[in-house]
Structure 1
Amino acid sequence: MVSPGVHQFTKEAIRHLADAHNAIIEACVFQTHWSNVCCRDEPGRTTKLLPKFVGPYPVTGVVDGKSVYKLGLPTELTKQGIYNNFHASLLRPHYPNDDDMFPSRSMVEPYDFSEPVNVEWVVDNIIGHQWDG
């Protein structure tokens, strides 16, 4: 004969187990939601590999009453949606390369910030991943 307390205890244990299971699922959904909020639509380059500054570009004008300068940007950068007005805190003076210390040191300009938006790739086969079950 089983005492009535055992049945009550098992019902409580099963209920607690279901509550814990529901809490785990809820936490997983919550974390997935907030993780996806910060995701970008397309893969980008890591910021530590991007150059801090590009240029040099000539100053073509000054906005009156503000510390904003207009730069003569090449058309490749303006096609990327980069506007030509910059605050003085974002600009740095240009020091030309010392060819005696660093011969043939130059950066190809302008820097390629990203792939064009309208480029699509067709994937035939994924060879860098193996399914384990």
Structure 2
Amino acid sequence: MHQLLVLEAQDNLILAKINQAFHANKSRGEEFVYSVGDKVLPSTRNRRKELKAGDPSRATKFLPQWIGPFEVTRANPSASTYTLNMPSHPRLFPVFHTSQLKKYHSNDDKEIPVRAHLRPPPLQFEDGTEEFFIDRIVDEHKTRRTSRYLV
């Protein structure tokens, strides 16, 4: 009698595990399989501390969400982990789970001309004044009515 109860409890546990796995996997998408040589972008979500270590004055919320691209050097699809070639980031551990990777799509203007970053033509003034393109504003000084910029 005792063995029958134990067997019934074990069967119920197995059925509960199957049911839980079914419901947990309903919301999960297909895992993308990468091969050696593919270019991927790793997520910085769990690695913000390592990225911020180089510049402590930098705000964490302004760090990029994805870095790279990096090349896959070793693939382990059974464990869903991939090793990346990351020579420029020695503080980061180079092994990532599939959920932390995104496929890199290069911006090839020949393949996808819509994505081309076209520069606007320079402005032409009738009075012959010169125009300068500003790379960045280094400093700003405001007085009552005017602002002066160091570029």
TM range (shorter): 0.3 to 0.5
Q: Which has the higher helix share?
A: 1
| TM superposition score normalised by structure 1 | 0.39
Larger radius of gyration: 1
| TM superposition score normalised by structure 2 | 0.34
- Larger RCO (CA within 8 A; separation ≥ 6): 2
Q: Which has the higher strand share?
A: 2
